[in-house]
Amino acid sequence: MFTQHKTRTMKLDGNILEVAESYRLNGSSRYDLLLDKNDTIGDEHIGTSIETPMRPDAFMMDDASKMKVIEHHFEEILNTLGMDLSDDSLKGTPHRVAKMFVKEIFHGLNPANKPKISLFENKFRYGQMLVEKSISLTSTCEHHFLPIIGKAHVAYISGGKVIGLSKINRIVDYFARRPQVQERLTVQIADELKKALETEDVAVMIDARHMCVACRGIQDQSSTTITAEYSGQFKNDKTKEEFLTYVGMES
């Protein structure tokens, strides 16, 4: 049976926060039970939604304020780990991490950073698939916040419009620069390209290494994960085989 849990308060930048302490069920704390469930989700790399999970108030705080809060909390993490923040090498680390989170590796969370896409008439009347292969991809696993590093292969067949090649890379990078699950990332890139290009004829494949697999848990240094999303003509076996040949994959 659960026992009554207690709360404690903490103060951050003038705000009073109420924090619930752990309470116990049959000798196990509620926190332990939640950890067991959440560890299973993370270890199995399970995604819960095609949309990136975001709160409605995600952008009510500006970037500078977010960096200030993250800097505070990361300083507390380092202190908890026993690191000496008076050391010259460490004293700027909380700020550097905060800036990296907001301005770099998670800048794809903010819709304001979404790349602007301009469409052009397909004046060459090129009717075959266009393939942009081996696009460098760096993302972050949302389960353990460790890097996902790999390549994305993207193809489309023009429905009358084309976009600049670099815009494909920018779309890939935008959705990668957020906490991700590879399956979701693959679908998000494909859906955005379909909307941008005004065609269903899009294929996306990602081949990536997950540092949460390489550096913890099973610690497998060699495996990669491949995901793919095919739409429109790419669901046709012949078209799909052509795409796989171009990107160097066996069909």
- Residue whose pair of structure tokens reads 């200030």 in the numeric block: 68
Written as six digits, the tokens of 50 are 């095609």
Written as six digits, the tokens of 29 are 């704390």
182 is catalytic: yes
The catalytically annotated residue of 71, 75, 144, 233 is 144
The catalytically annotated residue of 71, 75, 141, 188 is 141
215 is catalytic: no
The catalytically annotated residue of 75, 142, 192, 229 is 142
73 is catalytic: no
188 is catalytic: no
The catalytically annotated residue of 71, 75, 153, 212 is 212
Contacts of 66 (CB under 8 A, 6+ apart): 98, 102
Cross-strand pairs, 240:
none
Written as six digits, the tokens of 219 are 């610690």
Pairing of strands 24-25, 28-29: antiparallel
The catalytically annotated residue of 180, 182, 188, 233 is 182
141 is catalytic: yes
- Residue whose pair of structure tokens reads 């949460």 in the numeric block: 212
CA atoms within 13 A on the CB side of 247: 27
144 is catalytic: yes
72 is catalytic: no
Q: Are 131 and 206 in contact (CB under 8 A)?
A: no
Catalytic residue set: 141-144, 182, 210, 212
